Amino acid sequence: MTIPRFYSTASTVSARLTSLLKNRDLIKTTSYINGKWASPTNTTTSTTTFTVTDPALYPSPQAELATVQSSTREDFQHAIAAAESAFASFKSTTGRYRSNLLYSLYQAMLDNKQDLATLIALENGKPMSDAMGEVVYAASFFQWFAEESSRITGSIIASSNPTSRILSLKQPIGVCAIMTPWNFPLAMITRKLGAAIAAGCTTVIKPASETPLSALALAHLVENAQFPAGVVNVLVNDDAAMVGKLLCEDPRVRKISFTGSTRVGKLLMQQSSSTLKKLSFELGGNAPFIVFDDANVDKAVAGAIASKFRSSGQTCVCANRIFVHESIYDEFAAKFVEKLKSDVVLGAGLDQGVTHGPLIHQKSMDKVVSHIEDATSKGATLLLGGSKRPDLGDNFHDLTVLGDVTPEMLIFQEETFGPVAPLIKFTSEDQVVQLANDTEVGLAGYFYSKDISRVFRVAEAMDTGMIGVNTGAISEAALPFGGVKESGFGREGSMYGVDDYMVIKGVVLGDV
């Protein structure tokens, strides 16, 4: 293929970023396409760059971490062509071979844990302890799928014709486009990529433009692990709408896996209809967290804090509505606020002792502020926080607790994606299950109860794809991760994750 060449050497790396990493080879500022880093000789890379910033330092000029080069439409097409060409041979590799590739990546991530966590903490803002946790979580998907890769099995099915037999063969679907968000810059890639590789698929990955540096560092580890060229392509670009449309409409891409908002999921589904792609979507949530009157209140308080304020409330599975039985409401609210007051240290991710970081950007801040203002104007009481903390930087917001929240308030109806915990009083199991399910989305839900009959009853009645019972922390590689209703479809991780990247072929053997 002849490719026109335009190139600018405009990408830059700040001295701060360079000084903070031990393995500087992890710092990359151009896309990784067909086994090569974008350069004047092999891509159509334009002069367009975009800036990656540290949300903790925004809006200071010191916030700038790097400028990275945007891939063009032609680069994406080149990457799809490379992935299609690589698929021709990669689809026939053995599970054991792919397992070894995944194990190498797992080990490489752990070997570079500190640096990868530093990149995450810098571009996402989460505290270093959380960032280290994310690296281990992200790597665990490669370990998990390395184990799944050699265990892909079909079946033999009895035919209604006595002289025939039916075989079901599982085969990789083809080129997969992977689009990921900024809240888990590595884990949302590895949960998809691990399954795709285990299945024998090839990939074109578009990470969020807020957090491309972690994704490009992962591409460097892919290069070192000697994946065949074209199997993993990582392309950065800050025009998500252009890239999403291109990937959805290209007939060579057979599957789209996306984590992000329900609004964008609906658009991608529409755009994929002309080529009828297989889709896996992990979209928005509005997680209920129910504390029944028979719960252990101290444990429920700890679980609610862990769930609500993980990554400062910026995960799709964060508790969004905390329902507390009226008989323990006052005790729960007092202990919840007390524990936050004593345990929380707000600050920049890299600062020692910090437990909670900033919001990613001002758009998130606007939503947080609007939810608090709307709730308090409609009668909610401010139990903790409530104001921005400009002394720390424009993206910081105090962890906030609202009491007496009711269903008319925006914070009840919409995912806040920020550090605000709304407490809602309830009186009966039937009422709270009805309130919990009163939303178009259903990703995660949680409840605390010691009554085993209730545990089964409520777990079965809640309209969510995942439920935490007596725990606020559900995420791990073994969990079938995904939602119902407008939270999307498909399951990631677990023994089901690989199936999303495969098709079943039925083979009828006649004349047996």
Task: Point out the residues that are catalytic.
Answer: 282
CA distances, 249 to each of 15, 32, 246 (Å) = 40, 22, 5
Q: Is residue 139 involved in binding ligand SIN (CB under 6 A)?
A: no
Q: Where do the H-state alpha helices sit in 344-443? A: 362-377, 410-413, 429-436
CB nearer ligand SIN, residue 312 or residue 475: 475
Q: Pick from 112, 118, 214, 475: which binds ligand SIN (CB under 6 A)?
A: 475
Residue with tokens 């800050």: 238
Q: Pick from 31, 99, 143, 183: which binds ligand SIN (CB under 6 A)?
A: 183
The residues in 277-296 that bind ligand SIN, with binding defined as CB under 6 A, are 282
CB nearer ligand SIN, residue 133 or residue 386: 133
Nearest to 193 by CA among 221, 159, 153: 221
**The one segment of 61-69, 144-152, 312-320, 351-359 that binds ligand SIN by CB under 6 A:** 312-320
CB of 270 to ligand SIN, least distance (A): 22
The residues in 185-244 that bind ligand SIN, with binding defined as CB under 6 A, are 187
Q: Is residue 259 involved in binding ligand SIN (CB under 6 A)?
A: yes
Q: Which helix (H) or strand (E) holds 502?
A: strand 502-509
Compute the Cα dihedral for 315, 316, 317, 323 and give only its sign.
positive
3-state secondary structure of 339: helix
CA distances, 26 to each of 8, 275, 305 (Å) = 21, 36, 34
CB nearer ligand SIN, residue 124 or residue 315: 315
**The one segment of 13-21, 181-189, 388-396, 461-469 that binds ligand SIN by CB under 6 A:** 181-189
What is the number of the residue whose Cβ is closest to ligand SIN?
475
The alpha carbon of 388 is separated from its chain's Cα centroid by a whole number of angstroms, namely: 26
Cα torsion through 420, 334, 444, 144, rounded to 10: 100
Nearest to 11 by CA among 40, 35, 33: 40
Q: What are the phi and psi torsion angles at 338 (to 5°)?
A: -60, -45
Q: Pick from 173, 225, 317, 399: which binds ligand SIN (CB under 6 A)?
A: 317
How far apart are the C-alpha atoms of 250 and 132, rounded to whole Å? 37
DSSP string, 25-36: GG---S-EETTE
CB of 227 to ligand SIN, least distance (A): 24
CB nearer ligand SIN, residue 53 or residue 259: 259
CB nearer ligand SIN, residue 95 or residue 488: 488
Report yes or no: 233 and 193 within 8 Å, Cβ to Cβ.
no
**The one segment of 309-317, 381-389, 408-416, 422-430 that binds ligand SIN by CB under 6 A:** 309-317
Q: Pick from 316, 328, 350, 383: which binds ligand SIN (CB under 6 A)?
A: 316
Report yes or no: 102 and 148 within 8 Å, Cβ to Cβ.
no
CB nearer ligand SIN, residue 183 or residue 416: 183
**The one segment of 2-10, 21-29, 88-96, 310-318 that binds ligand SIN by CB under 6 A:** 310-318
CA distances, 344 to each of 142, 249, 340, 399 (Å) = 32, 46, 6, 8
Nearest to 279 by CA among 357, 376, 179, 208: 179
Tokens of 510: 């006649």
Residue 498, beta-bridge partner list: none
How far apart are the C-alpha atoms of 13 and 64, rounded to whole Å? 9
User: 13-24 burial string, b = 16+ CB within 10 Å, else e?
Assistant: bbeebeebbeee
CB of 262 to ligand SIN, least distance (A): 12
CB nearer ligand SIN, residue 282 or residue 398: 282
How far apart are the C-alpha atoms of 284 and 286, rounded to whole Å? 7
**The one segment of 108-116, 180-188, 296-304, 433-441 that binds ligand SIN by CB under 6 A:** 180-188
Q: Is residue 149 involved in binding ligand SIN (CB under 6 A)?
A: no
CB nearer ligand SIN, residue 95 or residue 442: 442
Report yes or no: 349 and 56 within 8 Å, Cβ to Cβ.
yes
CB of 360 to ligand SIN, least distance (A): 12
Instruction: List the x/- string, 25-64, binding to ligand SIN by CB under 6 A.
Output: ----------------------------------------
CB nearer ligand SIN, residue 286 or residue 315: 315
Residues in binding contact with ligand SIN, number by CB under 6 A: 9
Q: What are the phi and psi torsion angles at 111 (to 5°)?
A: -65, -25
Q: Pick from 49, 307, 315, 395: which binds ligand SIN (CB under 6 A)?
A: 315
CB of 121 to ligand SIN, least distance (A): 17
CB of 458 to ligand SIN, least distance (A): 22
CB nearer ligand SIN, residue 66 or residue 187: 187
CB of 296 to ligand SIN, least distance (A): 24
Q: Pick from 58, 76, 184, 426: which binds ligand SIN (CB under 6 A)?
A: 184
Q: Which residues bind ligand SIN (CB under 6 A)?
A: 183-184, 187, 259, 282, 315-317, 475
